[in-house]
Structure 1
Amino acid sequence: MDELFDQNTKAVPTSRISRLSKLGVLASKVAGNMLVDGGKELMQGKSPAIRDLLISEKNLKQLADKLATMRGAAMKAGQLLSMDAGSLVPPDMAVLLERLRADAVTMPAVQLLDVLEKNWGDEWQDQFQRFSFKPIAAASIGQVHKGLTLDHRELAIKIQYPGVRESIDSDLDNVFGLLRFSGLIPKDLDLTPLVDEARRQLKLEADYRHEGQQLRNYAANMATFSRREELMFPAYHEDLSTDQILCMSYMQGQSIDKLAYASQEERNRVMSLMMELFFAEFLDYRCVQTDPNLANFLYNLESKQLVLLDFGATREFDWTFVDNYQEALRAATFEDRNALASALDKLGFFVQGKEVKNLDVVLDIFVLATEPLRFKGSYDFSGSQLAEKIRDKGLSMSSDPDAWHSPPPDILFLHRKLAGLYLMATRFNASIDMNRLVSRYW
């Protein structure tokens, strides 16, 4: 039990008032920092820009720290905003996004024990030979512990932070309101569809029984995947799982970052597997694990298998959407701009009845993003500078609020995964024959 206290923990605020007060304190600190920094610049004879003062490194760090401490939807909102775009976001946001991906803050022993007793009863330890109180991983909604049951099942046990599910609605309203007020989000950009979808998605992710069923469905899908033998994923243990506790078989593996030290051939193989898995998920099974966070994967050095860990962000798509998006994907790959515009219009990418002022830029970005798909032979992600090209093209969009439109959430979540895979391929200096790979699924 000594290890219960051998870690850096912070209590999760559980009531709506306490969570709102956290954001109120944050707003006061940000305003105070702006006054101090602005005063310094005025004394130096400079004319400070309000936005520069607002997104100073100090303010972004405090914002990230506060969201990470709150966990739950507050932290997830920041992650969703980033869409895991990596180098595609302005450098000013790097501190915030990196802090939110670190996922290092855990709940103290008293909260952990309270959750365990409420879900498993006072005698819960009688079911285990061993239970590690020190988490092996922590994320926005829960933290993971390792346990060995009396019947010798080695489990990874995901335990939800208290108050997370109940605070989803208020957290999203408060965080998006704060970010909009701060100017980090354009005031005239309608994010209602994204916020509503984030609300729905988070409520599903906070239902661990639902995630368990998603894991079972995913395993059933993968039974017919052509490269199934290269994958590993856990089994769902329903008898010990509840709405707040998810029990899965413990999976052996190293951090996916270790892939950076593997041979070029192995890096290419694993990244081609991840790319092919994405296209199979979307085009064959209509069910995609949409979160490309590196922490959701392990690499088993002995078996040379990719280990899939998290299924909370698994998202189902209807056939109409899949068909229309495949039409857009093919049109962009073959650089047919008229067909691409038509397909994006069917997908609801543009506001109906309004002139699409950024149409050419949007089409350019889609055509750029499909560059690997039309390249003949192995595409070198490390030497392509594709992320920078897409970022620069995005920066050329009109700043007129009427020209902006938040695409349908289905597209945003899909692009989140694909962008994350592109960046992962770049990170591991992979070369992949994307044209041959995707042609199997047209």
Structure 2
Amino acid sequence: MAKKPVTSRSGRFLKLAGMTASVAGQYAGQRARRMFRSENDDGAQSESYTRMAGQIADTLGELKGAVMKVGQIASQTQDFLPKEFSDALQTLQKEAPPMPFPVIVAQIESELGQPVAELFEYLQEKPYAAASIGQVHRARLHDGTDVIVKVQYPGVDDSCDSDLKQLRMALKLGGLLRMPKEAVDQLFGEIRERLKEELDYLNEADNLRLFRGFHQHDNWVIIPAVIDSHSTRRVLTLELVEGDHVSDVTPERYDQDTINLIGHRIFTTMADQLFRFQCIHGDPHAGNFAYRPDGSIIMYDFGCVKKLKPEIVESYRKALVAALKEDYQALDRHLIDLGARVESQPAVDEAYYAMWRDILIVPFEQDEPYDFAESDLHKHVAAKTSTVFKYLDYFKPPVESIFIDRMIAGHYWMLKRLGVQAAFRSELEKYLDVAS
């Protein structure tokens, strides 16, 4: 039997508070048990972390909203969380279970002020997609226009601040946050700001218009138009623009040349947004992109958009140039400018930078096409994450650029799932030179 969704602020608070108390109790018990062991029992600690992380992931998935979105982001920042926690949160990347249809109908009618039958010729009951803060339903306007209607879950925006406070407390009391308080303040402040924007669908409508302008000359980038008459802060109606999910990009319909063309276009849109527009799509996962056999790319969901400071883009560019040139003293300085390195700490061992550079440079190190389908770059990264703890006091979450890192990681997975074979070194160098 499906659980009744928790939509009230008090209900969400109690659910999260219960989770926090349980996690804190488990952590305290774990610490007490360690006092009576002659040495640390890594297996017991890992088992304890797995239990705590599983409970947190289950609760965030049930509540959806801000905490589920933070869980999705946290699952991608493995440098600052125990592996067991990151692994458990990976489950939140999957499509969320939908809200009951009557809840969605009531939210639409409350926001648009009319019965659904007067607003739409039909509204499909089965969700087109379900995510962390809302879900999408297919519909048709009375003038025959096919649309999708994005509906925010009730109570999500009102509970954002209290949700984040409870989640932060749970992570702290569970011993799961491996960062100084100042860094945690900055990280949660940035996430809160992006979430507040993402919870305002009128802001997303503005973002859609902004990115349609950015890509107006790229006829292979398709971004849906906003239906203003049927859009509010919690309901967003867009023209229906369909394409193939990455799982449907198969050899029967897409030959390798088309897949490679799409790969180059993905790289171009990413680099243009970073270096030319200095404004990036901050949520690049498979559900937010679709493709067509003519090589077109369709982009959805512009709730999470990060406008970048020019000096941050410039520091990022310089850091990339320094890494390509293996100038690790310069790289260290640029990472300080980027806010990723603690300036008061001594210079980081160049061998440490060289290790990461040699892993991350692989797709760009030669002029021959790199086969992303066969890439195991992510495995090499995962194998070296334990080395991060040696330099934990030297680095901090790069708050201003965290969404750049998220964008790049998301695009890597898209290129891998598509099976792109492409050489990006010359294209990357072109952007680095143009930006200078």
Q: Do these two structures clear the TM 0.5 threshold for a shared fold by scoring above it?
A: yes
Query: Shorter-chain-normalised TM-score: which range?
Result: 0.7 to 0.9
CA distance in 1 between partners of 2:214 and 2:233 (Å): 24
Taking every aligned residue pair, what percent have the same amino acid on both sides? 27
Structure 1 stretch 106-115 or stretch 153-162: which is displaced more? 106-115
* TM-fit CA distance, 1:187: 5.9
Q: Which residue of 1 aligns with 2:214?
A: 221
Q: Which residue of 1 aligns with 2:387?
A: 396
Q: Which residue of 2 aligns with 1:62?
A: 55
Q: Which residue of 1 aligns with 2:127?
A: 135
Q: Which residue of 2 aligns with 1:169?
A: 161
**RMSD of equivalent CA atoms:** 3.0
* TM-fit CA distance, 1:425: 2.2
Q: Which residue of 1 aligns with 2:245?
A: 255
Counterparts of residues 206-355 of structure 1 (less than 5 Å): 206-224=199-217, 228-259=218-249, 261=251, 262-301=254-293, 303-355=294-346
Task: Flag structure 1 segments of 5+ consecutive residues without an equivalent.
Answer: 1-6
User: Residues 96-126 of structure 1: CA distance to partner in whole angstroms, max 9, x if unpaired?
Assistant: 2332112322222342232112111243421
CA distance in 1 between partners of 2:84 and 2:99 (Å): 29
User: Residues 314-342 of structure 1: CA distance to partner in whole angstroms, max 9, x if unpaired?
Assistant: 21112222222111111212222222222
Structure 1 stretch 23-32 or stretch 110-119: which is displaced more? 23-32
TM-score when normalising by structure 2:
0.87
CA distance in 2 between partners of 1:263 and 1:196 (Å): 45
Q: Find the partner of 2:70 among 66, 72, 77.
A: 77
**CA distance 1:94–1:325, change in 2 (3 Å):** closer
Q: Do the aligned residues in 2 keep the contact of 1:128 with 1:149 (CA within 8 Å)?
A: yes
User: Residues 186-214 of structure 1: CA distance to partner in whole angstroms, max 9, x if unpaired?
Assistant: 26463211100000000000010010010
**CA distance 1:345–1:327, change in 2 (3 Å):** same
* TM-fit CA distance, 1:179: 1.6
The aligned amino acid for 1:385 is D
Q: Do the aligned residues in 2 keep the contact of 1:358 with 1:397 (CA within 8 Å)?
A: no
Q: Do the aligned residues in 2 keep the contact of 1:288 with 1:314 (CA within 8 Å)?
A: yes
The aligned amino acid for 2:12 is R
* TM-fit CA distance, 1:50: 5.0
Counterparts of residues 14-93 of structure 1 (less than 5 Å): 14-15=8-9, 17-27=10-20, 51-56=45-50, 58-83=51-76, 92-93=84-85
User: Residues 281-302 of structure 1: CA distance to partner in whole angstroms, max 9, x if unpaired?
Assistant: 111111110212111011234x
CA distance in 2 between partners of 1:372 and 1:162 (Å): 44
Q: Which residue of 2 aligns with 1:413?
A: 403
Provide the secondary structure at the position in 1 that maps to 2:15. Answer: helix
CA distance in 2 between partners of 1:138 and 1:283 (Å): 32
* TM-fit CA distance, 1:59: 4.3
CA distance in 1 between partners of 2:42 and 2:281 (Å): 44
Q: Which residue of 1 aligns with 2:372?
A: 381
Q: Do the aligned residues in 1 keep the contact of 2:53 with 2:89 (CA within 8 Å)?
A: no
1:193 and 2:183 aligned: no
Q: Do the aligned residues in 1 keep the contact of 2:66 with 2:195 (CA within 8 Å)?
A: yes
* TM-fit CA distance, 1:95: 5.1
* TM-fit CA distance, 1:360: 5.0
**CA distance 1:83–1:48, change in 2 (3 Å):** closer
* TM-fit CA distance, 1:139: 0.7
TM-score when normalising by structure 1:
0.86
Q: Do the aligned residues in 2 keep the contact of 1:9 with 1:108 (CA within 8 Å)?
A: no
